[in-house]
Amino acid sequence: MSNESSSVAAVPAERTAMPNGGDGAALASSPVRSGQPHPGKNHTVSKETRRRVLGASFIGNFVEWFDYAVYGYLAGIIATVFFPESDRQTALLATFGVFAISFFVRPLGGFIWGHIGDSLGRKRALSLSIVLMSVATFCIALIPGYATIGVMAPILLLLVRVVQGFSAAGEYAGASAFLVEYAPANRRGLYASVVPASTAAGLLLGSLLAALLSSLMSTDQLNEWGWRLPFLLAAPMGLIGRYIRTKLEDTPAFRELAEEDNAIKAPARAIFRTYRRQLIIATGAVLLNAVGFYVILSYMPTYLSEELGLGATESFLATTIALLSYIGFIFLTGIASDRFGRKKMLSTASVLFILLTVPAFMLLDTGNFMVIVLVQILLGGMLTLNDGTLPSFLAELFSTKVRYTGFAVSFNLSNALFGGTAPFMATLLIGMTHNELAPAWYLVAAALVSLIAVLFAAETSKKPLRQD
């Protein structure tokens, strides 16, 4: 059954109304046999339900990625607080090394969250992930620095970051699958673009807070206690996000599988048996997003301040302006992907990055603030062509039975290998080559791989969602 018919009413499954006026109270415990009419097919999802789904998905994902991104924006201060005194680049490498290691647990998280999401429901996985993320982020604020507890400080930081990485593994994929399965068929790209938009909004708040703290506090105040404030916000924000999510029904597509007792018991096995080709294509297609997102939207303030000598406040301000434009562009990209197709949008993004990334980074080196802002807006706009399209593209590659797992495994595998390591690799490559353009060439390589992967994919935007 395709998603465009919006097949199940947005009311609790245990009290679903039957078409003949009877009561469907026992529906969840009485699966419909194959070949019988499915009671949910006579219902539609209301506009009000879709609005609530969009709002809840935005807020929940916003909270998760604010929590996760704050670390990147405060990397310079964290390097000072959690690692022994050494040369600046070694401390930054250690900080970004912890950032990268937390990503290595994400493929494992992708399998586990995918299993929960495909066998027990998207809603359950998303409600659990936001709690884990918020608790872990709050704990970072409580860890004493290296000067107080020595080597235990970076060890505790690493453990908490691993929990964050595990939680994030279920968020992006789950939110995307949730929105795509609720969306009208001709607006799946627009609905799914809410995910990267809310991710960028979380980054934006992190950037604003970092800029505010760096402008209002002295270096000593920031190092002693000021850096902890954004992490302390995690607890109340996480509680709000979870509360909103628990008020939603699971998606129509998943509820239909569950009511027919058709939800898959071992989605990971099915992924490798039936969807190997899609898994390879998806992992390759994610590469530009993985590297581009963390280089352009997370690592950039550190690059501007540490490598190009721009002031910390100016670096955060430039990134903030770029994030605002990114959020605006992302919805336009979602609309365009519904009209022109996923392949055209993703291929265009890759080609633009191959051609323009190195010249754009050369312009950053001018040191002119307005030029830097315009370059970041350009890079962010190019990235939206990929990021605004990718969630619907990945969700459409896999059937409803394995959608969460297929998306989560491919997305997190690529991010673990190349996304989480992007700030580390950028810093390392600059140190090895003494070339400030090294991060640009790294982006070009990622764009080339993504382009090849997308060219092997089928166009999915005009087809019904696969249910098999």
In tens, the pLDDT along 425-438 reads 777 887 788 777 88
- Provide the pLDDT confidence category of residue 99 given band limits of 50, 70 and 90: low
Question: Which token pair is 192?
Answer: 């799914």
Stronger pLDDT, 136 or 15, i.e. the higher one: 136
Burial annotation 104-142 (CB, 10 A radius, 16+ → b, else e): ebbbebbbbbbbbbbbebbbbbbbbbbebbbbbbbbbbe
Give the predicted TM-score (pTM) of the model. 0.77
Residues 6+ apart with CB under 8 A from 392: 176, 180, 188, 189, 191, 192, 193, 334, 337, 342, 461
Say which amino acid occupies 455: L
Asked if pLDDT for residue 263 goes beyond 80, the answer is no
Pair 450, 381: CB distance under 8 Å: no
Q: For 39-43, 70-74, 197-201, 233-237, which range has the lowest pLDDT when averaged over its residues? A: 39-43
- Provide the pLDDT confidence category of residue 262 given band limits of 50, 70 and 90: low
Phi and psi at residue 16, to the nearest 5°: -65, 130
Asked if pLDDT for residue 408 goes beyond 90, the answer is yes
62-91 residue pLDDT tens: 877 776 667 767 777 777 788 776 656 677
Asked if pLDDT for residue 19 goes beyond 50, the answer is no
Say which amino acid occupies 89: Q
287-341 residue pLDDT tens: 999 888 878 876 777 777 777 777 777 777 787 788 788 888 999 999 999 999 9
Stronger pLDDT, 347 or 48, i.e. the higher one: 347
- So what's the pLDDT on residue 337? 95
Q: Which CATH number fits domain 46-455: 3.40.630.30, 1.20.1250.20, 3.40.50.11820, 2.60.40.3880?
A: 1.20.1250.20
459: left (phi over 0), alpha (psi -120 to 50) or beta: beta
DSSP state of 24: E
Domain borders along the chain are: 46-455
Stronger pLDDT, 352 or 157, i.e. the higher one: 352
Mean pLDDT to the nearest integer, 196-204? 86
